[in-house]
Each structure stands twice: as C-alpha cells, then as structure tokens.
C-alpha cells in the first residue's frame, strides 16, 4: 500500500528537481487522465447482478462493513497507523535534511528517503545516493 505513495513522492521530487513544480501537477493530471481512459476500456461493461441495489445502497453497505466486519476494522486501523507513522517520519526527515547543516536538494532528499524506506535495497541504492550528492556539489 505504501509503495504507490512512496513512488509518487519520489517521482514528484525527481520531476521538481529537474523541472518546475508546476510540471509535477501537469504530470499528475496526465497520469490520472490516462488511468481514466484505461479503466474505461479495461473494466468490463457487464450487466448488474443485483438490479435492486442503487449506488447509495452500495455506499451504505460499504459503510456498514467498515464498522461491523472485524477484519475490515482491523485493516482500517492498521492502514491508519501505518500512514500516520510514514507521514510523520517522511515529513520530519525531509525538513531536517533540507535545512542546515545538510541543505540537500529535493532530489537528494527523496533518493535518501527511498533508500531508507527499502532497507533490503540499501546496498543497491547507495551508489545512486552518492551520485546524487556528487551532482549537488
């Protein structure tokens, strides 16, 4: 679940380093439009199995499951806890690396955080981090 969030932030950091911050938003708009078009052609247009169920009925059922099903509640709590830990760690470390004494660029910070987020790839991502430090100087 966190992989998409991490990859999006890393790509946004790389794009912002080499282009304007506006390009990040333009890229996001293009990606969302592409996904919309892909979903239109990939998701099958099959007849509804439950013709009596309205859209609001489906939403109500989902809300009911979110409170009554123990497995769904457990998944929600784990997702909230994981996102809170990730967000607090990511934001605080980004600000610390961007200020004195480090003054790392956006690209270097995102490569560093990517390296820390995937410890099994630490050895593989170390050369990229060192190269990004060399490019900054």
Question: What DSSP string describes 73-110?
Answer: HHHHHHHHHHHHHHHHHHHHHHHHHHSTTT---HHHHH
The torsion defined by the Cα of 39, 66, 71 and 69, in degrees rounded to 10, comes to -120
pLDDT digits (tens, 9 = 90+) for 13-45: 778 778 887 888 898 899 999 999 999 999 887
DSSP letter, residue 45 = -
Tell me which DSSP letter residue 101 carries: T
Element (H, E) at 123: helix 122-136
Predicted structure pTM score: 0.47
pLDDT digits (tens, 9 = 90+) for 73-121: 898 888 888 778 777 777 777 778 888 888 888 777 777 776 666 655 5
**Residue 38: per-residue pLDDT:** 94
106, 13 contact by CB (below 8 A): yes
């Amino acid at each position: 679940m966190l992989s998409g969030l991490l990859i999006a932030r890393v790509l946004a950091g790389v794009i912002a380093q080499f282009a304007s911050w506006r390009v990040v938003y333009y890229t996001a708009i293009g990606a969302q439009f592409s996904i919309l078009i892909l979903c239109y052609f990939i998701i099958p247009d099959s007849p509804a199995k439950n013709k009596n169920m309205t859209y609001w009925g489906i939403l109500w059922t989902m809300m009911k499951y979110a409170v009554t099903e123990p497995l769904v509640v457990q998944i929600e709590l784990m997702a909230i806890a994981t996102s809170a830990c990730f967000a607090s760690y990511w934001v605080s470390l980004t600000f610390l690396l961007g200020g004195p004494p480090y003054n790392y660029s956006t690209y270097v910070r995102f490569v560093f955080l990517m390296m820390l987020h995937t410890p099994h790839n630490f050895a593989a991502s170390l050369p990229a981090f060192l190269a990004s430090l060399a490019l900054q100087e």
